[in-house]
């Protein structure tokens, strides 16, 4: 038996129903902690999502039956991996298939913040627009501006390629490890510059885009001190994970004009968004839409099903993380 914790594309659910004795969440509401614990006790596999938090207590339940958690998404910071491993539960994710769509949204946020498109759209909807004038809603051109990328994995490099080729931005990047590049089409721009420290990158970038995983080391990577290293005209973009940014510190930096603006698709307290963030005009807010295309969600589902199938057949799943 397999438990699927949220609604998935119909074509994916059809494959799951054909392949497994499946229990689907037809209400599409987040399962409670006790319901997730029940799933681990009653199912051989659980196809979960980033909204499902599995703690050490979940894996300590008596009568644990589940052999695999097939995560619908790349990030697995919502799962206690050490506890899963100790309990003998395999954890997988869905890398690669969501790179392009997430990079597209990051690029959209760069444009929206630099050109003040969110502000302009809201102004027009309120009926406050009085017509074109030379000094109305001036933003900044991205051409020849420096884009600093924190984390240079698949998505970070995809953003770098887009920003360089389409917007004429100069790219610099920082990562604690050398990136794994599979081929020329997966690399960043040839003239992208690697900087030695994240602090150096923050001081010298016009736009900073975050593309690192959520770990104990990256939690609040962007704190009050680091935000104030950025130039006052700089913008912060986050399509990675919400807890990489100390959002209370971000609000303070924005209110004090320590930085000029931000574009966010993920949030520290998701799905709650700080009221102060919602009130700030220089912030563009999206409801975690980085992978929200039919094509990518189907591909993510297919990837999760492959992992689930392999693990339950006693084989090594292709995208095992724990």
* Given 41, 140, 219, 270, the catalytic residue: 270
Helix or strand run (H / E) with residue 303:
helix 294-312
* Given 288, 302, 306, 320, the catalytic residue: 288
Nearest-angstrom CA–CA distance, 69 and 73: 12
> Which of 287, 236, 301, 289 shows the shortest CA–CA distance to 102?
289
Distance of CA 130 to the CA centre of its chain: 37
Could you confirm whether 177 is annotated as catalytic? no
- Cβ–Cβ under 8 Å, residues 123 and 99: no
Could you confirm whether 58 is annotated as catalytic? no
Nearest-angstrom CA–CA distance, 48 and 54: 10
Could you give the C-alpha distances from 245 to 23, 87, 125, 166, 174, in angstroms and in order? 36, 31, 30, 27, 17
* Given 211, 226, 241, 297, the catalytic residue: 241
- Cβ–Cβ under 8 Å, residues 89 and 70: no
Largest alpha-carbon pair distance within the chain?
70
Could you confirm whether 200 is annotated as catalytic? no
Q: Supply the residues annotated as catalytic.
A: 241, 270, 288
């Amino acid at each position: 038996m397999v438990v699927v914790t949220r609604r998935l594309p119909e074509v994916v659910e059809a494959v799951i129903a054909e392949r497994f004795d499946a229990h689907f969440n037809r209400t599409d509401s987040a399962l409670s902690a006790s319901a997730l614990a029940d799933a681990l006790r009653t199912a051989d596999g659980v196809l979960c999502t980033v909204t499902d938090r599995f703690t050490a207590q979940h894996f300590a339940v008596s009568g644990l039956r589940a052999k695999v958690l097939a995560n619908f998404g790349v990030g697995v910071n919502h799962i206690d991996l050490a506890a899963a491993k100790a309990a003998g539960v395999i954890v997988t994710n869905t890398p690669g298939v969501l790179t392009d769509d997430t990079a597209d949204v990051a690029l959209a946020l760069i444009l929206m913040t630099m050109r003040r498109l969110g502000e302009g759209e809201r102004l027009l909807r309120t009926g406050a627009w009085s017509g074109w004038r030379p000094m109305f809603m001036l933003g900044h051109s991205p051409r020849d501006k420096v884009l600093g990328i924190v984390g240079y994995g698949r998505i970070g490099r995809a953003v770098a390629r887009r920003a360089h080729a389409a917007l004429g931005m100069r790219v610099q990047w920082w990562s604690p490890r050398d990136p794994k590049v599979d081929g020329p089409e997966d690399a960043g721009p040839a003239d992208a510059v690697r900087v030695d420290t994240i602090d150096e990158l923050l001081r010298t970038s016009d736009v900073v885009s975050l593309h690192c995983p959520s770990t104990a080391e990256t939690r609040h990577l962007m704190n009050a001190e680091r935000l104030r290293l950025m130039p006052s005209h700089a913008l912060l973009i986050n399509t990675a994970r919400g807890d990489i940014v100390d959002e209370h510190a971000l609000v303070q930096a924005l209110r004090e004009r320590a930085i000029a603006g931000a574009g966010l698709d993920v949030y520290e307290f998701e799905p709650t968004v700080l009221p102060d963030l919602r009130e700030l005009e220089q912030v563009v807010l999206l409801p975690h839409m980085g992978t929200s295309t039919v094509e990518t969600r189907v591909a993510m589902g297919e990837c999760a099903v492959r992992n689930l199938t392999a693990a339950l057949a006693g084989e090594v799943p292709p995208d095992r993380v724990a």
